[in-house]
Structure 1
Amino acid sequence: MPQPVVLVHGAFLGAWAWDAVVAELADRGITATAVDLASRGQSGDLAADAEVVRTAVRAAGTGVVLVGQSYGGMVITEASAGLAEVGHLVYVCAALPDDGDSVSSLMATDPHPTTLGEGIRPDVDGTLATLDPDTARALPGHDVPQDVWDAAVPRMGRHQMGTFGEAATALGWREHPSTYVVTTQDTVFSPDLQRTMAARAGSVVEVESSHFPMLSRPAELAEAIARVAG
């Protein structure tokens, strides 16, 4: 019987971003649940995001395949530490930190640095931010079909800026088997940066996609997850 899957979105997205992947997994007989992270709101941080994920994993059962995209990689790293219900971690073009690493520090090592930061629009107090739609289209979403993109843009939301500087307090990938999905057309986390982080994972899969493979290549991404979930 296939293992249950829990899906964790990255910054500026939400559980909705996984809808097509959830449907593709269902077609393969796999039950998947996507979560909305606390960092989409006024008081969320990495610890709060991790607790949201732990709750979802415990509700899903045992042997859970825990999937994180982009910033979601930090969250699944933190959440999975000491969590017996996790069976496998899947990092999708995601931050895969070592001791002391944050999203910001990992991105600072990218040999092909992104210009995504130019499109981040902080709120007045600087804690929450949104992503300019034109920047999102040009960089993380450059290969998303137009109809999918048109539906996604109104649903993109805010994210707590402070989470980008937070380091995980525990590294779940040291406890659980893991797979890294490298997106080879990514202009946010370059393929070279991803491959460096992927060296910490047990296995690596490559998908020809931008930073939003759940929107541009949902069937291919679902197939990669399904191979882990059985």
Structure 2
Amino acid sequence: MSLQGKTAVITGSNSGIGLGIARELARAGANVVLNSFTGRPQDHALADTIASEFGVRASYIKADMSIGRECRDLIEAAAACDILVNNAGIQHVAPIDTFPPETWDAIIAINLNSVFHTTAAALPGMRAAGWGRVINIASAHGLTASPFKSAYVAAKHGVVGMTKAVALETAQEPITCNAVCPGYVLTPLVEAQIPDTMAEYDMDRETVIREVMLARQPSRQFATVEQLGGTVAFLCSPAAEQITGTTLSVDGGWTAM
């Protein structure tokens, strides 16, 4: 499979799942645009590293995905957007009656509203180019729920619903829209939580991963960022031309239960 000549914009892609997706798309030949709200020298250096490693064009654009205008400006600044990967997201855990309202607003803005703004901005260019892929990184929590994650669950269910709506609106065009629903993925952020969880439960690393962190993931294994990237790359391939408006779970069987 080759994505040579295509440009992919991946939101929230200076680490973790987003960076893993950017690398796999670059491996397939796509030019990539990285994004975060930080704008640090190391963010630009990540793009330079990808360009050097895979022989593609890579750039970094700072944009705050909690602000609708900046979401749209990101797509405009990218100049081309054949593949849009809506990955940016944040999380907060609290009972709904004590959930901070400002945190609710931030989660809905970044996890859900940004998907609307970037997609609305990207579709005209995809139509003009005669090809496009919109891939939304939802979650197992877009298909099921957990307590104390009301904003995240609501946002990710919304992403799945929006995915279906966009797919229907573009069904007779060479544009597809799908959602990838990961379970627990081994990212630097998750890795950093393991020592504290070990101390909290007085367990060794392997036990705390299997019995605490992955208790709801039947495989008892983390998904990897490379697997997520490979799934996204597949959705951009000719084999996936008739896959639209659906969810692909990468969750070790979580949503099968």
**TM-score calculated relative to the size of structure 1:** 0.43
| Structure having the larger proportion of residues in helix | 2
Between the two structures, name the one with larger relative contact order (CA 8 Å, sep ≥ 6).
Answer: 1
Bigger CA radius of gyration: 2
